[in-house]
Amino acid sequence: MTKALSRRHFLIGAAALAGTPAWADPPASSLRPALRPGNFRTSTVPDAESLIAQARLGGAVGYAVADARTGLMLEGRSAETALPPASVAKAVTALYALDRLGPAHRFETRVIAVGPVQDGILDGDLVLAGGGDPTLDTNALADLAAQIKATGLREVRGRFLVWGGAMPFAREIDPGQPAHVGYNPAVSGLALNYNRVHFEWKRQGSDYGVTMDARSDRYRPEVQVARMQVVARDAPVYTYADTDGRDDWTVARGALGNGGARWLPVRRPALYAGEVFRGFARAQGIVLTAETETDTQPGGTVLARHDSAPLREILREVLRYSTNLTAEMVGIAASQAGGGKVDSLRASATRMSGWAEANLGMTGAALVDHSGLGDASRVSPQAMVTALTKAGQNTVLRPILRPIALRDAQGRPDSSHPITVDAKTGTLNFVSALAGYMTTKDGSELAFAIFTADTETRAGIPRAQRERPEGARPWNRRSKELQQALIERWGALYGT
């Protein structure tokens, strides 16, 4: 019986990494298996084509595996066929950001006084200015409000402005996703809570009470920039409209049950952050006018600032928990490093693709975003393994990849399994990818990439059904079983 890889989690946070990459020379390449000599019994190793047939995936299956130290290609199937990498693209984004920004880079969010401050009164505008921090949260805005109070500020006589122009604005990462999924929010230089708003509902007699808030572990400020109305219908479950700069949602009463909660995407991130900050300022005794977006980069006196964790920690979380917005904002920042200007998410991804070919040897890589959410991105397994061996030779990537627990015959994580794997998973409907490093029982280190995709079936799914389409979950399970079976095959063949 084949064994299944554990499913990825969608969590939020920040952790660690080391060193800026220095890229090595291109590896040697061969797709002919290098079998162990002597009395090794190859008859006991499952045939790759048999494993693929057993998975019953349809579509395309491609893989490549190489010696992680030398780059020697050991085995491949459709290794040069470009397929959707899904979230495996985030590993390329991490390497790009480390190279262009450096592991110690921090993103800053500032509160700026545009005008003189005398006797606690600002005779001018106050600006909340985003600096591209993908991890800014409600707690940080509360701390910024406390900081401006500590300066002695009591009154603002001008406007309250919000600026998200440090990065190009995108209403959503991938237009092909359902409108309501929280993993596909807007992109802006000012982002809050991964540009998601918390929607909660509870039955109250024959009706429902609903809240929309920017909650954290310390606060639950309700917001008006995103509004929800319960409507008497069964489908569609959600509708969205941009009404006068506000996110107007409706939800089908027939889908709510007795109560529940979920995160919804925010399409007006600068106004969202501004509304939450204005509430915290009011709690500090500072009354601000309603937030207004500005396209002009502010200048003036910095009254308060919040710095993110170092980039190395942010990237560790991106690779372990696959937060799409973080990958996009980090990737755009890398493209802008050194004064470079990009006017769209796709333009930034194109720049990253060129960098990956020049610096990682990723011939033919064509990425449309930095997260892998867009299914039009294409990378071949061989190109991905070439990048992994380059990064592996400099111990850049493996320390921040997520350990992947292989499973026993009962589907439970097997802590005693002789093969250890550190890799990036990637999952879209009818697309599953895994790429990273494995260490065999005898200590041999291999780099691998496995891409599976039934793009024809995926293309036939209506946009509204792409969150949980019929058949996608069992297909994904079979793909993960195939991934583990191939890893165990390679462990047996190349483990010396």
Work out the pLDDT band at 43, boundaries 50, 70, 90.
low
Please tell me the distance from the alpha carbon of residue 73 to that of residue 63, in angstroms, as a whole number. 11
Residue 7 has pLDDT above 70, yes or no: no
pLDDT tens, 175-188? Answer: 999 999 999 999 99
Q: Is 113 helix (H, G, I), strand (E, B) or coil?
A: strand
Give burial (CB, 10 Å; 0-12/13-18/19+) of 97.
buried
Q: How far is CA 204 from the centre of its chain?
A: 37
Task: Tell me what the pLDDT averaged over the chain comes to.
Answer: 91
| Confidence at residue 431, expressed as pLDDT on a 0 to 100 scale | 97
Under CATH, to which class is 107-308 assigned? alpha beta
Give residue limits of the domains in the chain. 42-104+311-493, 107-308
**Average pLDDT in the 192-219 region?**
96
Q: Is 291 helix (H, G, I), strand (E, B) or coil?
A: coil
Q: Is 324 helix (H, G, I), strand (E, B) or coil?
A: helix
Please tell me the distance from the alpha carbon of residue 162 to that of residue 376, in angstroms, as a whole number. 33
Q: What is the CA radius of gyration of the chain?
A: 25
Give yes or no for a contact between 131 and 192, defined as CB atoms under 8 angstroms apart: no
Give yes or no for a contact between 435 and 423, defined as CB atoms under 8 angstroms apart: yes
Work out the pLDDT band at 409, boundaries 50, 70, 90.
confident
Tokens of 256: 């709510």
Under CATH, to which class is 42-104+311-493 assigned? alpha beta
Measured at the CA of 465, the angle between CA 459 and CA 470, to 5 degrees, comes to 80
pLDDT tens, 281-311? Answer: 999 999 999 999 999 999 999 999 999 999 9
Work out the pLDDT band at 339, boundaries 50, 70, 90.
confident
Residue 496 has pLDDT above 90, yes or no: no
| Confidence at residue 323, expressed as pLDDT on a 0 to 100 scale | 97
| Confidence at residue 16, expressed as pLDDT on a 0 to 100 scale | 30
* Residue found by looking up tokens 């892998």 in the block: 372
Q: What are phi and psi of 96, to 5 degrees?
A: -60, -50
What is the pTM assigned to this prediction?
Answer: 0.90
Residue 352 has pLDDT above 90, yes or no: yes
| Confidence at residue 13, expressed as pLDDT on a 0 to 100 scale | 33
